[in-house]
């Protein structure tokens, strides 16, 4: 199957700083990528849909100025958590879809804000 690589897998940052998470489609081009957030023992919550060459579409309740998404190429989307606070600590997952229905997921990033 197609491979989606997410980096870093773990990151610890200080409160008030920004952190960038990368999501790459390694062997296919992805015009659309999705960013999810997952709290412990809970389901995946869609944060935004990232579209190559255009603005991301954010889900209701997600602060677009806090969670900046850039999809500058067909193989790379980035999520930047700006001015991070401890409540932003979570597990972030990206996914992309080749033509068809199956979505492929990155390995996830565990963000800890101290």
Partner 1 sequence: AQTVTQSQPEMSVQEAETVTLSCTYDTSESNYYLFWYKQPPSRQMILVIRQEAYKQQNATENRFSVNFQKAAKSFSLKISDSQLGDTAMYFCAFMKLPRGQGAQKLVFGQGTRLTINP
Q: Where on the chain is the footprint of partner 1 (CB under 8 A)?
A: 1, 31-32, 34, 38, 41-44, 46, 49, 91, 93, 95, 97, 101-103, 105, 107-108
Nearer to partner 1, 22 or 82 (CB): 22
Compute the least distance from the CB of residue 52 to partner 1, in Å.
Answer: 11
Minimum CB separation of residue 70 from partner 1 in Å reads 18
d(CA 20, CA 81): 6
Listing DSSP states for 67-113 in one string gives EEEEEEETTEEEEEE-S--GGG-EEEEEEEE-SSS-EEE---EEEEE
68-97: string of b/e by CB count within 10 Å (b at 16+)? bbebeeebbbbbebeebeeebbbbbbbbbb
Q: Tell me how far, at minimum, the Cβ of 44 lies from partner 1, in Å.
A: 5
To partner 1, the closest distance from the beta carbon of 16 in angstroms equals 27
Q: Cα 107 vs. chain centroid, distance in angstroms?
A: 11
- Give the nearer residue to partner 1 in terms of CB position, either 31 or 82: 31
Nearer Cβ to partner 1 (5/82): 5
Choose between 82 and 108: whose C-beta lies nearer to partner 1. 108
């Amino acid at each position: 199957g197609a491979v989606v690589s997410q980096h870093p897998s773990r990151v610890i940052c200080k409160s008030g700083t920004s952190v960038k998470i990368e999501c790459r489609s390694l062997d296919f081009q992805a015009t659309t990528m999705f960013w999810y957030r997952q709290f412990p023992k809970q389901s995946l919550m869609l944060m935004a849909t990232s579209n190559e060459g255009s603005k991301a579409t954010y889900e209701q309740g997600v602060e677009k100025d806090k969670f900046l998404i850039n999809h500058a190429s067909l193989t790379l989307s980035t999520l930047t958590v700006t001015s991070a606070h401890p409540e932003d600590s979570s597990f972030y997952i990206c996914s992309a879809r080749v033509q068809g229905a199956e979505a492929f997921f990155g390995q996830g990033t565990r963000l800890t804000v101290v």
